[in-house]
Amino acid sequence: MSVPPATLYGLGVGPGDPELLTLKAHRILTSAPVVAYPKPDTGESFARSIVAGYLRKEQEEIAIEVPMRVERFPAAEVYEAAAKRIAADLKAGRDVAVLCEGDPFFYGSFMYLFERLASKFPTEIVPGVSSVMAAGAASARPIAARNDVFTVIPAPLEDREIATRIALSEAFAIIKLGRHFMRVKTLIETLRLTGSCRYCERVSLAEERVMPLAEASDTAPYFSMILGYRGAEKAIRGR
């Protein structure tokens, strides 16, 4: 007798504070027999560390080892192999919860598993709190309001590309800073917007650091962003 296929869950686990999981993510996480997560080839899985306190030792864990060169398109073979292993569990009737930092579909790597598995198995995405929202909360200033245009700009883009997007936005987040941080910081100084920007690092974690961009040091980890708001004068225009 064949077992009905189980469900693949893309589980948003939020920006870092374990209490920022949704009730739904918590329920699915604690009841799934199999939990999968990305993990750098050296070091710990950030997604797993967020939910570590909720895991039970009876749960099977699948660590998907992703090469550390974050700038490059992750090796297709890694996700191919992980998809095969997850598919085996699903075929055996075991639900698999894939842990996704922040939200699964917002700049996440879950899409690589999704595109390989979603057409073959029942799939559900559980949205999560994005680090952008957590950065707004931590910096005690609205991210965007009323009819503001809000743009998320990855730092690896060229200066000219970044500047053009900023010019057309009342509010913006520059993500994936890492080794691009000083270049972007200099660009923002050139645009005379430093005073409108906050630097946000590891938001919602104990190590959280949030400060005016002018006070930030010269290095930034991958899990950091700049939140900018240049809407003050535009708001007066009545938009």
Among 161, 160, 164, 153, CA closest to 227: 153
Q: In angstroms, what is the minimal distance from the CB of 111 to its own copies?
A: 4
Q: In angstroms, what is the minimal distance from the CB of 231 to its own copies?
A: 12
Task: State the helix-helix crossing angle for 110-117 and 76-91, rounded to 10 degrees.
Answer: 50
Q: Label residue 183 exposed, middle or buried (CB < 10 Å: 0-12, 13-18, 19+).
A: middle
Tokens of 198: 């906050």
Q: In angstroms, what is the minimal distance from the CB of 145 to its own copies?
A: 6
Q: Which is nearer to its own copies, 1 or 167 (CB)?
A: 167
Q: Which is nearer to its own copies, 165 or 179 (CB)?
A: 165
Q: Which is nearer to its own copies, 17 or 65 (CB)?
A: 17
Q: In angstroms, what is the minimal distance from the CB of 2 to its own copies?
A: 26
Contacts of 28 (CB under 8 A, 6+ apart): 9, 11, 95, 97, 126
Q: Which is nearer to its own copies, 144 or 188 (CB)?
A: 144
Q: In angstroms, what is the minimal distance from the CB of 1 to its own copies?
A: 30
Q: In angstroms, what is the minimal distance from the CB of 133 to its own copies?
A: 4
Q: Which is nearer to its own copies, 157 or 191 (CB)?
A: 157
Chain contacts with its own copies (rule: CB under 8 A): 10, 12, 14-15, 17-24, 26-27, 73, 103-108, 111, 114, 118, 123, 125-130, 133-134, 136-138, 140-154, 156-157, 161, 164-165, 168-169, 176, 204, 239
Contacts of 21 (CB under 8 A, 6+ apart): 13, 14, 29, 50, 51, 54, 128
Q: In angstroms, what is the minimal distance from the CB of 192 to its own copies?
A: 21
Q: Which is nearer to its own copies, 65 or 150 (CB)?
A: 150
| Positive/negative CA dihedral, 203, 206, 212, 216 | negative
CA separation for the pair 122, 130 (Å, rounded): 24
CA 91 to chain centre: 29
Contacts of 128 (CB under 8 A, 6+ apart): 11, 12, 13, 14, 21, 22, 25, 100, 102, 103, 104
Tokens of 36: 């999968």
Q: Which is nearer to its own copies, 91 or 141 (CB)?
A: 141
